[in-house]
Amino acid sequence: MDFYILKKQQELIAIPASENNCKQYLDSGYFYIDKVAACNETNALKALHAKQTKTLKIPLLIALLALPIVFSTWYSLT
């Protein structure tokens, strides 16, 4: 089942992916964050967190792999 993740101030909620239901929340001040597939609301929020963590891990991993190359190049040039 798909869920829309919405946010109002610091509160994150997951609602079933229904356009009419989503419009009601958006009219009451919520903002659309993402759409995720999960079996319930709790797992939808966990899936969003995992998705955000994954997008942060990839650039961090690339940076950590590039660091030794930069240091070895700097050392060989000096």
Closest to 3 in 3D by CA, of 12, 18, 11, 51: 18
Predicted TM-score (pTM) of the model is 0.66
Contact 38, 47 (CB under 8 A): yes
Coil vs helix vs strand at 75: helix
Contact 35, 2 (CB under 8 A): yes
Which residue type is seen at 42?
Answer: T
Q: pLDDT tens digit string along 51-77?
A: 877 777 788 888 888 988 888 888 888
Structure confidence at residue 58 (pLDDT): 80
Q: pLDDT tens digit string along 20-40?
A: 989 999 999 999 999 999 999
